Amino acid sequence: MKKSERSALILEALSKVIELPKSELVFNSPFQLICAVLLSAQCTDKRVNMTTPALFERYPSARELAEADVEDVYGIISSISYPRAKARHLVEMAKMMVRDFGAEVPSEHSDLVKLPGVGDKTANVVESIAFGHPTIAVDTHVFRVSHRLGLSKGKTPKAVTEDLVKAIPPQLRGDAHHYLLLFGRYTCKAVNPLCENCPLTKYCVSKSRFKA
């Protein structure tokens, strides 16, 4: 079976068990989205959503955040993982947005990855959600699920991204990212995956490893 055929069957099955293939991060603008995604690295969306309301109330746009004291930002986000580095990245990112992009979030990948704290994954998420670009962001969940379902053998997130982009048509990539992410977050977990409740066992190339 070709990977394009395999991915189509997998996405069809997931569409029957996941009602809303969308981000669980709470945001109201591209600026809030990129901040939330940056904060979500090695941190749960739930924790990020508990943190961002105070951040966005004090710094509603890149212009305000660019003028922020890093220590003040650190105090607001101190409950999340790596708060000092993320506080610094947030302020530096806002400064670059103001200086180079008119205080707006750039829409092109090459510009997004120039921003402090923004790598390929964050850029792909912002491109897909905020601007509707046909890309797929590969986080730890998507990386794991893609291997277990035989969609990729790539050893890096970039390699997995390339495999998924080849296998999944442009119009489905946005939803595909969320389907695979949510499936990995709640069913195909890294530890103790819920194989007994999995709708994709016939596609799993690792099922012998995860028998109950």
Active site residues: 121, 139
Taken as a whole, the chain contains a residue count of 212
C-alpha 41/C-alpha 132 separation (Å) is 22
Dist CA 34 CA 37 (whole Å):
5
**Do the Cβ atoms of 105 and 34 come closer than 8 Å?**
yes
Whole-number Å distance between alpha carbons of 127 and 122:
9
* Measured distance CA(135)–CA(107) in Å, rounded: 12
CB atoms within 10 A of CB 109: 16
Reference 164, options 136, 204, 197, 192; nearest CA is: 136
The residue assigned the tokens 């506080």 is 87
CA pair distance 123, 158, nearest whole angstrom: 12
